[in-house]
Amino acid sequence: MTHGKGREFKKLPPIKPENITDGYLQLLLFEAERAWTYSRELSLQASSNKEKASALKRNATSRFRRAVHWATQLLSHCQALHSSSRLSTSDLIQATTYTLILNGRFLSSRYDFEDALVQLSVSRSLLDELASSASTSRDQALATSFADEIGPEIRYCAHELGRAKAYEIDSIVKDVAAKHKNEIVEGYDSLIQKLAKESSGGVDSGKKTLRPIDWEGEPVPVRNPELVDVLLRVQEAEEKLIDAEGADKQTGEVEVSEEKKKGRIGKGTRSKRGVAAYDAILLALSDAEEVARKLAEAQQAGASSSTTVPGTRDLQFVHAFIVFQLLSRRIQRDLLLITTLIHQSQATTHNHPHNLVKGKVLSATNTSANSRREQTDARLFPAVVKLLDTILQSLSQMRALSVVDDSPDLASAVEARTAVTKAKRCRYLARCYAPLKRYAESLTLTQHATIHLRETNSLISLLSDDPINSLSQPFFPLTPSIVTSLEEELSADSLQFKKDWFTFNGGAVTSPSGPGSEAQQPKTYKKPLFYDIALNYIQLDMERLQERAGKTPETLPAPTGTTPKPQPIQSGPVQKQAEPEKKAGVSLSKTVKVEEVSRPSTPEPSSAVPVRSGLSSLLGGWWGRK
């Protein structure tokens, strides 16, 4: 074997603390993580490959030792930097915690559960101190997530040692860490004191602090730093919306007073600003929902090694809560859009040129009749119906959430809002049919809306306290007074539809004088072919039928004894003279009572008529009278 062509290996001199940079510390951290990850991979291969299990386990143990070596070297450099005041106490405690976790896991893999329990318990106590003194919500969530990760390992070690209450992790950590913390970590108490001073004298980071989130009086835990980042963006967007609404309220009073003087209707620009603010919140909530869904899926995939703390809510609940917030904000945005559309249409109608005389607005009495005659924009009501469809979709998705299904009052409140939204949809859909002169459909939809309002009243009566109205910012306020006003509007619309229908064609279902469409033409019924065939073989008693119908049968004049001779066919003017004579005969038959004479029987066909043969004799009835 060669020796590198005569070159001898010279060990590098130890690096001086003044030359250590952040990159060097990160390099040691990455080396430790790489070695630990490779050891875990080899352990998984050993469980599946029985032939090479011993060799793989041996390699995994050696790589685990290398990870502990790199972590110990990282801790020594951090201690040197902290002594020279180049590293904060928080960073030193983080490096110490990381080294203790790796040591505890290595001892647990070597079945030394007692020492492993000591190492893990001290690291857990350090993580609790970091979480309590964190300056930002992200740092707090980061410490909490590491504490949740080593919780099952502490419980496993306590179970292997035969502890009676191995499931009480907090009590085990408090008991074990109090005995061994100064032995494992040099100057433990002094480090905690320095950490408290640093956290109290730190820079105020109110923008990076997440407000506590509650659901039905219980806190919603946010124990993941990824969730904290996206929820902070949601919080900032909500603050901007609140500020915008406050500014709109202040400027709105001034604008309303000026617009009243000028005779105009406003609120359009303020609504547009509110819609833009809601879009920012929806974007942030969409990102939060995606992050929560991925975390919940990852937790569900590793359900066997779940790190959920007992007594807290899991990520599935957090995901459902974020989806509820997303849907509620979406419903708020859609309701604001509906209000904006209606106000803009009212402003357009109010400022119509026909309502202005030399730059001045006419009075309400002069414009009330004109406003009824003016036709609303055909795009308004279909747009409102589409927005109501979106609200119905959001409410149906909200009703299917687990957080809503678990609360009976909240489920009833959501169902009540679904019913009242259906009523509003039927109302505006009826207004879409009215300009098309289809008043039957409009009245039918109005009746359906009334049924939905009855359902809403029944659901509201079951609620002792509406949980949506009791929120600090209710996204869909609903009270009995709102339902009552909607019922009055529906009754007014129904009455107006009936008046318009009667004015249009007297209340007929179809219009005899409409345009060329089939829907507006009167229906013509064609007599079935059966009756044409039956009259060829059956002689009906028309007098009896008229008596049954309540009509007096007309009497015929008595026939004379002579048979009238056939008259020759006369020209056109002579036929016209026969018509008044016929009318005169009818008038005489009504005034003069003539004796009833039995009608002569129908003569049988004479044998002189030539007999038809062939197909005409068989199907002659088909070509009879029609």
Domain boundaries, position 331: 210-346
Residues 197 and 215 in one domain: no
> Is 198 domain-assigned?
yes
* Confidence bin at 270 (pLDDT 50/70/90): low
Among 19-33, 99-113, 568-582, which is the least confidently predicted range? 568-582
- pLDDT exceeds 80 at position 450: yes
- pLDDT exceeds 90 at position 470: no
Last residue of a domain, one of 204, 231, 261: 204
What is the per-residue pLDDT across 194-246, written as a single tens digit (0 to 9) for each? 998 888 765 555 567 888 888 888 888 888 888 999 999 998 888 888 877 76
pLDDT for residue 307: 55
Which of residues 265 and 219 earns the better pLDDT score? 219
- Coil, helix or strand for 356? strand
Residues 194 and 229 in one domain: no
Residues 143 and 114 in one domain: yes
- Mean pLDDT in the chain? 78
> Is 406 domain-assigned?
no
What is the per-residue pLDDT across 480-516, written as a single tens digit (0 to 9) for each? 999 999 999 999 999 999 999 888 887 676 554 444 4
* 214-215 and 218-219 beta bridge pairing: antiparallel
116: left (phi over 0), alpha (psi -120 to 50) or beta: alpha
- pLDDT exceeds 60 at position 616: no
- pLDDT exceeds 90 at position 570: no
Residues 165 and 268 in one domain: no
d(CA 106, CA 83): 28
> Is 31 domain-assigned?
yes
Q: Quick one: average pLDDT of 29-51?
A: 92
* Confidence bin at 340 (pLDDT 50/70/90): confident
Residues 249 and 194 in one domain: no
- pLDDT exceeds 60 at position 306: no
What is the per-residue pLDDT across 117-169, written as a single tens digit (0 to 9) for each? 999 999 999 999 999 988 888 899 999 999 999 999 999 999 999 888 888 89
pLDDT for residue 36: 95
Residues 197 and 220 in one domain: no
Residues 118 and 191 in one domain: yes
Residues 117 and 152 in one domain: yes
- Do you know the residue count of the chain? 626
Neighbours of 170 (CB within 10 A): 13
Q: What is the pTM of this model?
A: 0.70
> Which amino acid is located at 421 in the chain?
T
Which of residues 468 and 577 earns the better pLDDT score? 468
Which of residues 217 and 364 earns the better pLDDT score? 217
> Is 35 domain-assigned?
yes
- pLDDT exceeds 90 at position 575: no
d(CA 410, CA 466): 7
What values do phi and psi take at 360, rounded to 5? -115, 150
> Is 49 domain-assigned?
yes
d(CA 143, CA 123): 11
> Is 541 domain-assigned?
no
pLDDT for residue 368: 37
Identify the burial level of 70 via C-beta atoms within 10 angstroms of its C-beta, where 0-12 means exposed, 13-18 middle and 19 or more buried: buried
Residues 78 and 152 in one domain: yes
User: Ranked by mean pLDDT, which of 118-122, 356-360, 585-589 comes out on top?
Assistant: 118-122
* Confidence bin at 529 (pLDDT 50/70/90): low
pLDDT for residue 277: 80
Residues 179 and 284 in one domain: no
**Angle at the Cα of 395 from the Cα atoms of 390 and 399, rounded to 5 degrees:** 150
Q: Quick one: average pLDDT of 321-346?
A: 90
For residue 144, give the CATH number of its domain.
Answer: 1.10.3450.40
Provide the greatest CA pair distance for the chain.
Answer: 159
* Confidence bin at 432 (pLDDT 50/70/90): very high
Among 27-41, 246-260, 375-389, 569-583, which is the least confidently predicted range? 569-583
d(CA 558, CA 598): 9
> Is 149 domain-assigned?
yes
d(CA 582, CA 588): 10
pLDDT for residue 485: 94
pLDDT for residue 404: 92
> Is 60 domain-assigned?
yes
* Domain count of the fold of the chain: 2
Last residue of a domain, one of 204, 225, 243: 204
pLDDT for residue 457: 93
Among 94-103, 299-308, 594-603, which is the least confidently predicted range? 594-603
Residues 40 and 132 in one domain: yes
d(CA 390, CA 99): 53
* Confidence bin at 608 (pLDDT 50/70/90): very low
- Coil, helix or strand for 267? coil
- pLDDT exceeds 70 at position 439: yes
What values do phi and psi take at 218, rounded to 5? -115, 145
pLDDT for residue 223: 86
Residues 189 and 231 in one domain: no
Cβ burial 189-202 (10 Å sphere, 16+ → b, else e): eebbebbeeebeee
Last residue of a domain, one of 323, 346, 369: 346
